[in-house]
Amino acid sequence: MVNPTTRSERGDELPQGGDAPLPAVRRRRFLTYLVAAPALTVAAKMGLDSAASPAAEAIPSLPQLPEVYDLGDLIKLSCEPTKDMLVLEVDKDGTVRLFLPRMEVGQGITTAAAMLVAEEMDVPLSKVEIPLSDARPELIWNQLTGGSSTIRTVYEPIRNAAASARTSMVAAASKKYGLPAEELTTRDGAVIAPNGSVYPFGSLTAYAANAELPKLAVKTKSSSEFKLIGKKTDRIDARKMVTGQMEYTLDLDVPGAMPTMVRRPPTIQGSPKEILNEDEIRAMPGVIDIAMVATGVAVMAETFGQALDAKDALEVNWNPGTIDGLSNEDIKARLSAAAVPFTVPSGLTDFIDAEFDFAPVSHAPLETNTAIADVRSDRAEIWSGLKIPIIALQNIAQEVGLSEDAVTVHVVQSGGSFGRRLFHDGALEAARISKAMGKPVKLLWTRVDDMRHGRIRGASHHKVRATFASNQVLSYEHRVASVKTDWRHGFGEAITAAGAEGIGNLGYTQTIFNMTVECPYNFGAVTEVINEPENVILNTSAWRSVYSAMTRGAEEIIVDEIAAKLGKDPYEFRREFLKTDEARAVLEKVAVEGKWGKNMPDGHAQGIAYHQEYRSRTACLMEMDATDPKNPRVYKATIAVDVGRPINPTGLQAQMISGMTDAIATMHRAGLHFEDGLPLEGSYSQFHYARQKNSPIDVRVFVMPPNREEPGGSGELGVPASAGAFGCAYARATGTKPRSFPINFDVDFEPFPR
């Protein structure tokens, strides 16, 4: 346990505030937590991992926490008490419906869930529907979509539920037709009798629901029997999407819910003081109502166009926000001052010291914050894209003064999240407005507001020190200082609940950092510590891959620099220093398939990087043309991914392509400039998320064959390795040492008015 403890000891010195306890308490609590939660698992696996150190030359690093017990394990543990409380129903027409207590935002989890059901129930995929479950408070923590944990947490429970439903169908047929159960089989949504008679599940469902059925043992299939799991499968909702039939929150028809928009303050977390021209606004065409709420002034109108005009015409006096007057440079200075000192002195051996900066980034899902709310005196109903709907329900109930069982929260499939919809800002605001106006509301945030007042990944500053001597890396230290990440959406409580008392006291940030970020190389003494100072408070939420894209991205850039100092090829160096053969396998895959080391024209280069997290591994090899250093183009990417047990390779590949695009966007051009307490950026013409012209023309994603029973996570996995590959390719193509991202970060636009 030495290494995690070491990391916590470093943490002891951190000047943390907020949810962190006094320093002296923290280490004891940290140990408490390790023992309290996964004691046996940790102990058993630790011995194994430290014995298996394959790189003979390198100085083995002690195992880091994510290698033995990661965030996903903890989320899984939090789901454990209610994991089997899934609702699965079989219709008379044979349709099987599993209500998924998770949130689809584009990751393809409904398709994967449908595959699990179809596989275990022996029904055709086309007969399976996966509606998203309304908020179900009785599930406690088992309705949380985050940390790339969905497949990890539902893989067994869904298969159990489907296998149990299949067994019920067999039992029903056995009883109804007087046939011995052991002679019955199932195929294509039907029970098959020995004489060839076919009894469709739909014809058995009513009987199964009413009859006293014989108790049969429920058995899920072994992976060797899988016919569908592991096969390339297209999205079950694709046709709706390409025909315009897919319904997002604002496409729903809720009687009486009229278009509503909010005028927001000129600085982050400001609030309205007084409306100066209410009568004038009420007289504008189409305007129905106006209400002041905590976050701004809401206007309801016949159409969104009219609501937009009216809210723009509002004149409002505002109270100040939390970062009035603050700009990117101030935030950077505060972060730089907050980084914890290194422990290994420089100068005794060869060393590299480096500092990195990553700009703030908007989640910017293409569907902005949206919600429908109908709050009455005795009940409320909410529709919105919510990744933690139970907490949304509880907060909304409290806010509008209703008991929790008087509030219904419908989870609506959404146009992206990337971490944004962990929070329920839109739903809460819509509920407040509905209560204030006494009418159902259909709330849309403008893009400008979504980018400026929506949540973001805060800026981070990184200090890295690596020491090395004669072909060996002696130490690797990484100090992260980041704008405080807001974990108050319930995720923090979920892991606290799972991990016993100690976690909350460690601070969510340090805990989550410890459980997700790991150096995959044998770099001797490794310490990685994060600090989030209390003097920059703005609207944040975990952004796809949370701390890893920056921490691991920067680390991969330094890996190249260490290799260069030791006179080694970046690929060969990684091969030698990676801790495991599984890691080497994905790295080798991209090196071979992507032709590592081939001749490149001047100004072009390859970059290679590796990442592991969520019990999965990936490597990325990019080819870049940086002849115009401000506008490099990644024109080819080769990615290998090993999730242990792929469910749907097509969806997995999609996630890797998506993560790669996020990496290219945030390393190249996408960032926010805070100026005087508000981002300047207000649309995609200013926040330069990647477009088609920034995307590689050739992308190949290799899915490694299954090598484990349990699937690892993948939703966020693609970002860090691609960020690293981008940085390394850029450094090699330009002969520079990139340290600040995005690399092209000019204010090349006229900001919208506040």
Partner 1 sequence: MPNYTFTVNGKSVTVDAPADLAMLWVLRDKLGVKGPKYGCGIDVCKACTSHLDGDAFNPCQTPVSECDGREVTTIEGLANGDELHPVQEAWLEEDVAQCGYCQPGQIMAAVALLKKTKNPTDEDIDAIENVCRCGTYFRIREAIKKAAAAMR
Residues 6+ apart with CB under 8 A from 384: 249, 370, 371, 372, 392, 409, 410, 411, 412, 424, 426, 427, 430
Binding mask 689-718 for partner 1 (x = CB under 8 A): xxxxxxxxx-x-------------------
Based on the shown chain and the rule CB under 8 A, indicate whether residue 632 belongs to the binding site for partner 1: no
Binding mask 374-413 for partner 1 (x = CB under 8 A): ---------------------------------------x
Q: Please state the closest distance from residue 366 (CB atom) to ligand FES, in A.
A: 4
Phi, psi (degrees; rounded to nearest 5) at 490 = 110, -25
The interface partner of residue 661, options being partner 1, ligand FES, none and the CB cut-off 5 to 8 Å by kind, is partner 1
The whole-angstrom separation of Cα 114 and Cα 744 is: 42
Q: Please state the closest distance from residue 178 (CB atom) to ligand FES, in A.
A: 52
Binding mask 645-684 for partner 1 (x = CB under 8 A): -----xx--x--xxxxxx--x-----------------xx
140 close to 81: Cβ distance less than 8 angstroms: yes
Buried b / exposed e over 533-554, threshold 16 CB at 10 Å, is beebbbbbbbbbbbbbbbbbbb
Q: Return the number of the residue (402 or 660) whose C-beta is nearest partner 1.
A: 660
Q: Return the number of the residue (137 or 415) whose C-beta is nearest ligand FES.
A: 415
Quick one: 741 exposed, middle or buried, by C-beta within 10 A (0-12, 13-18, 19+)?
buried
Q: Please state the closest distance from residue 697 (CB atom) to partner 1, in A.
A: 5
Based on the shown chain and the rule CB under 8 A, indicate whether residue 319 belongs to the binding site for partner 1: no
Q: Please state the closest distance from residue 339 (CB atom) to ligand FES, in A.
A: 35
Name the residue among 559, 613, 569, 567 with its Cα closest to residue 591: 569
Name the residue among 21, 40, 39, 41 with its Cα closest to residue 31: 39
Of 33, 141, 418, 521, the residue at the interface with partner 1 (CB under 8 A) is: 418
Quick one: 640 exposed, middle or buried, by C-beta within 10 A (0-12, 13-18, 19+)?
buried
Based on the shown chain and the rule CB under 8 A, indicate whether residue 441 belongs to the binding site for partner 1: no
Number of residue whose CB is nearest ligand FES: 366
Tokens of 604: 């072009």
Cα angle: 623, vertex 625, 626; to 5 degrees: 125
The whole-angstrom separation of Cα 547 and Cα 517 is: 7
Based on the shown chain and the rule CB under 8 A, indicate whether residue 749 belongs to the binding site for partner 1: no
Query: Would you tell me which residues interact with ligand FES (CB under 6 A)?
Result: 106, 366, 415-416
Based on the shown chain and the rule CB under 8 A, indicate whether residue 243 belongs to the binding site for partner 1: yes
Q: Please state the closest distance from residue 107 (CB atom) to partner 1, in A.
A: 7
Of 369, 446, 496, 551, the residue at the interface with partner 1 (CB under 8 A) is: 446
Distances (CA, A) of 634 to 272, 548, 574: 45, 21, 22
Q: Please state the closest distance from residue 389 (CB atom) to partner 1, in A.
A: 18
The interface partner of residue 308, options being ligand FES, partner 1, none and the CB cut-off 5 to 8 Å by kind, is partner 1
The interface partner of residue 499, options being partner 1, ligand FES, none and the CB cut-off 5 to 8 Å by kind, is none
Classify 679 as helix, strand or coil. strand
Q: Please state the closest distance from residue 113 (CB atom) to partner 1, in A.
A: 16
**Which spans in 418-569 are helix H?**
425-437, 447-452, 491-499, 502-506, 508-516, 548-565
The whole-angstrom separation of Cα 547 and Cα 269 is: 24
Q: Return the number of the residue (21 or 415) whose C-beta is nearest ligand FES.
A: 415
The whole-angstrom separation of Cα 505 and Cα 509 is: 11
Q: Please state the closest distance from residue 98 (CB atom) to partner 1, in A.
A: 20
Scanning residues 175 to 214, which ones bind partner 1 (CB under 8 A)? none
Q: Return the number of the residue (209 or 366) whose C-beta is nearest ligand FES.
A: 366
The interface partner of residue 697, options being ligand FES, partner 1, none and the CB cut-off 5 to 8 Å by kind, is partner 1
74 close to 390: Cβ distance less than 8 angstroms: no
Quick one: 602 exposed, middle or buried, by C-beta within 10 A (0-12, 13-18, 19+)?
exposed
The interface partner of residue 256, options being partner 1, ligand FES, none and the CB cut-off 5 to 8 Å by kind, is none
Q: Return the number of the residue (635 or 689) whose C-beta is nearest ligand FES.
A: 689
The interface partner of residue 52, options being partner 1, ligand FES, none and the CB cut-off 5 to 8 Å by kind, is none
Q: Please state the closest distance from residue 657 (CB atom) to ligand FES, in A.
A: 11
Tokens of 750: 């006229």
Q: Please state the closest distance from residue 214 (CB atom) to ligand FES, in A.
A: 47
The whole-angstrom separation of Cα 186 and Cα 193 is: 9
Quick one: 453 exposed, middle or buried, by C-beta within 10 A (0-12, 13-18, 19+)?
buried
Name the residue among 466, 494, 460 with its Cα closest to residue 478: 466
Scanning residues 270 to 289, which ones bind partner 1 (CB under 8 A)? 285-286
Q: Please state the closest distance from residue 106 (CB atom) to ligand FES, in A.
A: 5
Based on the shown chain and the rule CB under 8 A, indicate whether residue 368 belongs to the binding site for partner 1: yes
**Which spans in 601-717 are helix H?**
649-668
Q: Return the number of the residue (198 or 366) whose C-beta is nearest ligand FES.
A: 366
Q: Which helix (H) or strand (E) holds 534?
A: none
User: 10 Å Cβ neighbour count for 322?
Assistant: 14
What are 443's strand-pairing partners? Answer: 260, 371
The interface partner of residue 689, options being ligand FES, partner 1, none and the CB cut-off 5 to 8 Å by kind, is partner 1
Based on the shown chain and the rule CB under 8 A, indicate whether residue 349 belongs to the binding site for partner 1: no
Binding mask 99-128 for partner 1 (x = CB under 8 A): ------xxxx--------------------
The interface partner of residue 598, options being ligand FES, partner 1, none and the CB cut-off 5 to 8 Å by kind, is none
Residues that bind partner 1 (CB under 8 A): 105-108, 234-235, 237-248, 250-251, 253, 259, 285-286, 302-306, 308, 364-368, 413-416, 418, 444, 446-447, 650-651, 654, 657-662, 665, 683-685, 689-697, 699
